[in-house]
Amino acid sequence: MTVMNMIQALNSALDVMLERDPDTLIFGEDAGYFGGVFRVTDGLQKKHGLKRCFDTPIAEGGIIATAIGMGAYGLRPIAEIQFVDYILPAFDQLVSEAARLRYRSGGEFHAPITVRAPYGGGIFGGQTHSQSPEAIFAHVTGLKTVIPSNPHDAKGLLIASIEDNDPVIFLEPKRLYNGPFDGRHGEKLKTWAGDPLAEVPEGYYTVPLGKASVVREGADVTILAYGTMVHVARAGIEDSGIDAELIDLRSIVPLDIETITASVAKTGRCVIVHEASRFGGFGGELSALVQERCFWALKSPIERVAGWDTPYPHAFEWDYFPGPGRIAAALARVMEN
Amino acid sequence: MTVMNMIQALNSALDVMLERDPDTLIFGEDAGYFGGVFRVTDGLQKKHGLKRCFDTPIAEGGIIATAIGMGAYGLRPIAEIQFVDYILPAFDQLVSEAARLRYRSGGEFHAPITVRAPYGGGIFGGQTHSQSPEAIFAHVTGLKTVIPSNPHDAKGLLIASIEDNDPVIFLEPKRLYNGPFDGRHGEKLKTWAGDPLAEVPEGYYTVPLGKASVVREGADVTILAYGTMVHVARAGIEDSGIDAELIDLRSIVPLDIETITASVAKTGRCVIVHEASRFGGFGGELSALVQERCFWALKSPIERVAGWDTPYPHAFEWDYFPGPGRIAAALARVMEN
Amino acid sequence: MPDPRLELYIPEPRHRPGDRPSFEHLALPVAGETRRPDVLEEESAMRDMPFGLVRVLDEAGQAVGPWAPDIAPDLLREGLRAMLLTRLFDDRLFRAHRQGKTSFYMKSLGEEAIGAAQAMALSAGDMCFPTYRVLSWLMARRYPLIDLVNQIFSNEKDPLKGRQLPILYSARDYGFYSLSGNLGSRFGHAVGWAMASAYRNDDKIALAYIGEGSTAEGNFHEGLTFAGVYHAPCILCITNNQWAISSFSGIAGGNETTFAAKAIGHGLPGLRVDGNDFLAIWAATRWAAERARANRGATLIELFTYRAAGHSTSDDPTKYRPSDEAEAWPLGDPIDRLKQHLIAIGEWDEERHAALAEGLDNEVRAAVKEAEAVGTLGKSKPSVREMFEDVFETPDWRLIEQRRELGI
Amino acid sequence: MPDPRLELYIPEPRHRPGDRPSFEHLALPVAGETRRPDVLEEESAMRDMPFGLVRVLDEAGQAVGPWAPDIAPDLLREGLRAMLLTRLFDDRLFRAHRQGKTSFYMKSLGEEAIGAAQAMALSAGDMCFPTYRVLSWLMARRYPLIDLVNQIFSNEKDPLKGRQLPILYSARDYGFYSLSGNLGSRFGHAVGWAMASAYRNDDKIALAYIGEGSTAEGNFHEGLTFAGVYHAPCILCITNNQWAISSFSGIAGGNETTFAAKAIGHGLPGLRVDGNDFLAIWAATRWAAERARANRGATLIELFTYRAAGHSTSDDPTKYRPSDEAEAWPLGDPIDRLKQHLIAIGEWDEERHAALAEGLDNEVRAAVKEAEAVGTLGKSKPSVREMFEDVFETPDWRLIEQRRELGI
Ligand SMILES: Cc1ncc(C[n+]2csc(CCOP(=O)(O)OP(=O)(O)O)c2C)c(N)n1
Ligand SMILES: Cc1ncc(C[n+]2csc(CCOP(=O)(O)OP(=O)(O)O)c2C)c(N)n1
Ligand SMILES: [Mg+2]
Ligand SMILES: [Mg+2]
């Protein structure tokens, strides 16, 4: 066990896989010699060679197309998209090709690719370095979407994603790279040091896709969250003083529906939290599922706490970001019944 | 008033606008001389001239980029995407550019563009001529999404969309082009003749965006639908014998939340229907909204009837398509409480 | 200074329905005229090639000039067979659509030389990334006719399990990558596949197809860019059949320059080849394959041809072009031209040709009959369980629940 | 036949940190060497141009050769002013980032000639579709410094209402289209804008910028395609500053050919221009503008330069390239070169230069001070109501409800 921040844990996952499986290779904009603008691939080219970890042209569609072709050949490529905001030029490749290849070819070809991308806000990145588009991936049949919230899970989930034979979108909450962030933006920056989830085994291990983690047990209300919002929700629980059960979904496809319904069946209340704008966000799906499966257990309306239905606004980051205060208020509201 | 099918009604809307506003122009793949693969722009080049209605290269991203640039100059372009399945290569242009231009430029520039695309299944078009991706547009802040269900609305909504100063995605249920379709695929094809909603004024009129239509009043359960599913839902109501209120949303952004909540407040039950695959579909958002706003009125769980979470499968069209039978069954289920 | 008044320019084809078609403006080089650079030539010394036209078969059916390949007559007859089979199959299955046996069909009429010559010029392990108009590749590789027809009928024995639109085949073992309705989106897969082969120090190369209309897509450019940057061992082919549904090649930029010229901006060799000349295609493909296998990277090949049929069963080309335009096309018919050549070199005759055609037609007829016995569209289909398979490697709870909801 | 063993090729720059930088391999043409075709020349007669290099200023600061333009010294001084102001502004605002006054900044160091010369060569009504590295356009067009600084500080007076990342300006009245963080996605807007101008029989043209790294994006190709097909009256510029964050231009295909060569595949004239030579840029831009206004369509211009600073405030270029590479760049510094020319023709001297610099620095200082009085990042911001405005022309119920929920 070593203490790792999220960047180091992801780097370690990649290092382990390059070592174990000669069919893995990594590429992306600035991912080679330089090691990525967030340093996640730092040192990998030097250690494993130019052909295992290299730079690409600035063409996200081309990066994904290349990965799919390599996957069809039999490799297990890991592509980096510099910011998930810039994955949109590759959207057709992801939806019409990666997600559909196995199905339409009757299983003759498939795309065992992993697409890593820094994700989410909280770093004053403005409109195009802050977005959370997980909902548009979740709706695509054939894609898996994984969002870790801590170094331990990040490494284990990334290895599981790489080994998975389906295309996986692996979203890395960039605000968590260097330390946990609970939404209290005025406070001193925290590092991962001292956090039990920053104790990361050095070698190979996996955290399975589709298995949520109950981060905090509670009796009165279930909070569903993922990524940065797991930490913000914890702060919201603290602020509210309410005995909430906090579930970190870890992956939204596959979704751990059993853990979710078991918890809401117990608590009878549910608050869903995400950074993405609210309308049409993944919270809608979660709310619908919980309502369909736990209707008779529900004591009060399911609440969603999410980004506003505006683009991500630079100067208003903290007005936009769904912080602990808004979560605490939602918790208080659902406890009224 | 003339009887028009949906193609004629759309053609008439375009004709009226080309006539009224010299700043409108139409372009798309095969949209010029030939008049579009579904004939929606038939005759417009001949009547209004080569520069008002013309063919484009096969590059959906380029089509939308061109439209945005024209919009920024001061024109009011109407772009056709041959099938909405092929809008994905333009997704970045729609999300990062069209939808964001007004916001990010502080109002200096905006994109008053209308993007028409045939949409939905039921024509044995297989995976890439049948999809219903409305949910991914609905989640994008800054885009409007309109889906007509009959010739009268189609013309009025299209004119309203063209005149709207925001970017509008206008989805045309292709299974309705030549006649209403209620999902009973074994029966003889119907035409629009005789349908009151095929009585279409020849001149200019609008149907406002964001105003749903109550297609059928009912006391016991509210059905939310749009596009082809409005007709299928009607058949489902017939089959079930239940007194359902059927709401045709007409546009999903802007959404007529008042009509929706008023109806569910009255009926206490809700079934949501769409062709798109279910997980992460727009039904999730609708379900969440209804649950949030009508929780105390709900007598039974809100149900969703939708496409399965698979790609659109050619041979299994009628196994996949959410037909009247599945709707009737859902109606029966919600009436159990 | 004159008052500048800008005018929006929209290209239009020379001929519309009712006009007398003509291709005189093209000024095509004669067979043998365009030079053959050394396979290892530097790209910078080949920038004239995209403006030439590699042709081998002359008017008399003789193979002439520096590109004339040395192919055994057996192989030529094999190519003729694949082309003829493609045409006969197309005819019969097009009619099957009219009879309601399938939902959709597309012909390769006039373009049969392309897939056939390239399938034969490349090795068994190489992979082509097809468009919907290279059925002749599968014919040359002897893909079973019955599997084609079952796919087209979406019946119980459809190898793609009822999931795909007719003719969007996938045939891995025949070097034929999965087709999709989306244009151009597999072009870059070929480049990635080729890079993977190089990564593994393999000897396999990839061949990608795209229509001239689809070269406008960003995917095309991104594929060329990656191919250029990483010297990917592949052959990138543009089938310029001059039409993209109803729009002529000028709408794709073909009035301004050749499609092969797009190679120059990526530092790739660009060859322009008579797409109705089996020998020229074979020779150019061999040239590019040899170059690729020598680690000299990709070649872009424009195959200049003419789409002699409608775009698909949904199309009526007389609506937008002269109905006799195909007959005016100066590069003729690929089957006639190869047949003429074989006869000219004494390796074929009309009688053998008629016998071949009859035999092939019987093969097609038998396959259709066999498939009909299984069932045509709507009369037979694979198990509905197949709808829920292969979405993922293993179905998740959603698919399992939904399958149950459907009662299967 | 030799055993073919494919090898994956990954391009690498010649020099990494610690190496002695050199550009000797480039063999750049000397000033005056590259010919100047007639403005109305056919593209097919200009296919050599993408491989030349339009240069006007020689080593001695003299304007030489066929491209040497006739520009009044006043205009040259105006250009010098814009460039110098850009550099001084960049310096001070880069430092403001280090002091926590803003979240982000990017410099144009070494590329100041581009925006300045082109802003001056074009007309007031023309529109540029910028990248983040053409601040000198705004300086040449005399956009108020205070508005720049307020935008960078995202303060209450930010003209973009706090919504945009610093330096992603929009300045419609100054012919400067809205910037965005997405690379290349506005390239096609320029083409659409130009087509609209032609549609309206206007006389305005558009100018698009893109970085050499971003030419790999599909957007770039689609823009060129539309420009070529519709003869759009625009100038399409690639700023080849040889770096894209940490990746050298070989990763964008620059090892294989020139970026200007991408014009050939679209039938467009392609000019390669010394991007550090104010006069060459001005002359090439005028040439392309004249051609566009004569309804002869678009020109692609590669502006060959060097990104002398780091990519942005988040970057440290010594991590991936020799720290003294900028000094080895043979085309020098654009400000020094224009200054040298003005001195050479007797229209400038060191004293006036120093006075100009001091005056401009005071202007910058004053603007920063004024903006600081309003507030820096986090200390001042526009009304939070602005977060909900301009999503649509009129906010819908969601925005109204959410604004209320936030208590405003
Ligand atoms: C991305 C995408 N856009 C549009 C279409 C609709 N479409 C199908 S075929 C076709 C024309 C293609 O022309 P070309 O590339 O020249 O190929 P050809 O049919 O001539 O072989 C079009 C526009 C599509 N299938 N995919
Ligand atoms: C679509 C997209 N992909 C990736 C990025 C991240 N990114 C920002 S700048 C940059 C490098 C751009 O290089 P170049 O085009 O050469 O422009 P330069 O910075 O040299 O002016 C990258 C990769 C982005 N902003 N947008
Ligand atoms: Mg074609
Ligand atoms: Mg650059």
Q: What digits encode the pLDDT tens for the residues A118-168?
A: 999 999 999 999 999 999 999 999 999 999 999 999 999 999 999 999 999
CA distances from D140 to A100, B105, D175, D205, D285 (A): 51, 21, 11, 18, 15
Q: Which two tokens stand for residue A13?
A: 């996952």
C388 shares its domain with C268: no
D399 shares its domain with D357: no
D371 shares its domain with D397: no
Cα D325 from Cα D336, distance rounded (Å): 18
Structural domain including B165 reads: 2-176
What residues of chain A lie within 8 A of the CB of B301, using their CB? 291-292, 295
What residues of chain D lie within 8 A of the CB of A29, using their CB? 244-245, 247
Report yes or no on B248 lying in a domain: yes
Beta bridge partners of D176: D128, D171
Report yes or no on B19 lying in a domain: yes
D266 shares its domain with D332: yes
B158 shares its domain with B64: yes
Beta bridge partners of C377: C380
Q: Would you call D195 an interface residue with chain B, using a CB distance cutoff of 8 Å? A: yes
| Residue from the list A96, A128, A136 with its beta carbon closest to the beta carbon of B136 | A136
Judge whether residue D149 has pLDDT over 90. Answer: yes
Q: Would you call C225 an interface residue with chain A, using a CB distance cutoff of 8 Å? A: yes
Judge whether residue C4 has pLDDT over 80. Answer: no
Q: Would you call A299 an interface residue with chain B, using a CB distance cutoff of 8 Å? A: no
Ligand closest in space to the Cα of B87? 1
Q: Which two tokens stand for residue A278?
A: 């609210």
C299 shares its domain with C401: no
What residues of chain A lie within 8 A of the CB of B300, using their CB? 295
Cα D325 from Cα D306, distance rounded (Å): 9
Cα of C251 vs centre of ligand 3, distance in Å, is 11
C351 shares its domain with C405: no
Cα D82 from Cα D84, distance rounded (Å): 6
B137 shares its domain with B28: yes
Structural domain including D402 reads: 382-408
B220 shares its domain with B284: yes
Residue C58 Cβ inside 6 Å of ligand 1? The answer reads no
Mean pLDDT, rounded, of chain A:
98
A144 shares its domain with A41: yes
A129, A152, A176: which is the final residue of a domain?
A: A176
B221 shares its domain with B263: yes
A221 shares its domain with A281: yes
Asked if the Cβ–Cβ distance from C191 to A210 is below 8 Å, we say no
A151 shares its domain with A244: no
The sign of the torsion formed by the CA atoms of D312, D318, D319, D321 equals positive
Residues A318 and A304 sit within 8 Å (Cβ to Cβ):
no
Nearest-CA distance D224 → chain B (Å): 9
Going across the sheet that includes B144-146, the strands are: B53-55, B24-28, B76-80, B114-119, B168-173, B144-146, B251-253
CA distances from D8 to A52, C124, C203, D144 (A): 10, 21, 12, 51
Q: What confidence score (pLDDT) does residue D3 get?
A: 61
Report yes or no on A193 lying in a domain: no
For C389, other C-beta atoms within 10 Å of its C-beta total 21
**Residue B304's domain is classified under what CATH number?**
3.40.50.920
Please report which confidence band the pLDDT of residue D331 belongs to, taking 50, 70 and 90 as the band edges.
very high
- Residues of A248-266 as b/e, b for ≥16 C-beta within 10 angstroms? bbbbbbbbbbebbbbbbeb
B219 shares its domain with B319: yes
Asked if the Cβ–Cβ distance from A96 to C180 is below 8 Å, we say yes
D392 shares its domain with D357: no
A161, A176, A191: which is the final residue of a domain?
A: A176
D408 shares its domain with D353: no
Report yes or no on D132 lying in a domain: yes
Please report which confidence band the pLDDT of residue A1 belongs to, taking 50, 70 and 90 as the band edges.
confident
A25 shares its domain with A77: yes
Judge whether residue C3 has pLDDT over 80. Answer: no
Domain count, chain C: 2
What residues of chain D lie within 8 A of the CB of C3, using their CB? 203
Nearest-CA distance C224 → chain B (Å): 16
Report yes or no on A43 lying in a domain: yes
Asked if the Cβ–Cβ distance from A124 to D382 is below 8 Å, we say no
Assess whether A129 carries a catalytic annotation: yes
Nearest-CA distance D98 → chain A (Å): 15
Q: What confidence score (pLDDT) does residue D1 get?
A: 45
C244 shares its domain with C220: yes
Residues B149 and B227 sit within 8 Å (Cβ to Cβ):
yes
Could you tell me the pTM of the whole model? 0.98
Asked if the Cβ–Cβ distance from D218 to B25 is below 8 Å, we say no
Residue A30 CA, closest ligand 2 atom number: 23
Task: Tell me which H or E stretch contains C73.
Answer: helix C73-98
Report yes or no on C37 lying in a domain: no
Asked if the Cβ–Cβ distance from A126 to D104 is below 8 Å, we say yes
B82 shares its domain with B222: no
Q: What confidence score (pLDDT) does residue B1 get?
A: 84
Q: Would you call A313 an interface residue with chain D, using a CB distance cutoff of 8 Å? A: yes
ipTM over 0.95? The verdict is yes
C234 shares its domain with C323: yes
What residues of chain A lie within 8 A of the CB of D169, using their CB? none
Q: Which of A48, A129, A152, A231 is catalytic?
A: A129
Nearest-CA distance A130 → chain D (Å): 11
Cα B79 from Cα B64, distance rounded (Å): 7
**Residue B121's domain is classified under what CATH number?**
3.40.50.970
Count A/B contacts: CB-CB distance under 8 Å.
132
Residue C310 Cβ inside 6 Å of ligand 1? The answer reads no
Report yes or no on D368 lying in a domain: yes
Ligand closest in space to the Cα of C132? 1
Residue D215 CA, closest ligand 2 atom number: 15
Judge whether residue C321 has pLDDT over 60. Answer: yes
**Residue C372's domain is classified under what CATH number?**
3.40.50.970
C324 shares its domain with C390: no
Residue B288 Cβ inside 6 Å of ligand 1? The answer reads no
Asked if the Cβ–Cβ distance from D189 to B68 is below 8 Å, we say yes
Q: To probe the interface with B, which of D163, D173, D189 has the most B CB atoms within 10 Å? A: D189
Domain count, chain B: 2
Q: pLDDT digit string (tens) for D85-103?
A: 999 999 999 999 999 999 9
Q: What confidence score (pLDDT) does residue C1 get?
A: 45
Q: Which residue of C has its CA nearest to D231?
A: C9
Mean pLDDT of A184-210: 97
Per run of 10 residues, the mean pLDDT along chain B (length 337 residues) is: 96 98 98 98 98 98 98 98 98 98 98 98 95 98 98 98 98 98 96 97 98 98 98 98 98 98 98 98 98 98 98 97 98 97
Judge whether residue D270 has pLDDT over 70. Answer: yes
- Residues in contact with C165: Cβ distance below 8 Å, sequence separation at least 6, in sequence order: B125, B126, B127, B128, B129, B314, C103, C104, C181
Judge whether residue C272 has pLDDT over 50. Answer: yes
| Residue from the list C178, C195, C393 with its beta carbon closest to the beta carbon of A109 | C178
A172 shares its domain with A227: no
Q: Which residue CA neighbors atom 19 of ligand 1 most closely?
A: C244
Report yes or no on B124 lying in a domain: yes
Helices (H), C185-277: 187-199, 218-230
Q: Would you call C251 an interface residue with chain B, using a CB distance cutoff of 8 Å? A: yes
C353 shares its domain with C402: no
Cα D146 from Cα D171, distance rounded (Å): 13
A126, A156, A176: which is the final residue of a domain?
A: A176
Measured in whole angstroms, how far is the alpha carbon of residue C220 from the centre of its chain? Answer: 16
A132 shares its domain with A258: no
Cα B30 from Cα C38, distance rounded (Å): 42
Report yes or no on B238 lying in a domain: yes
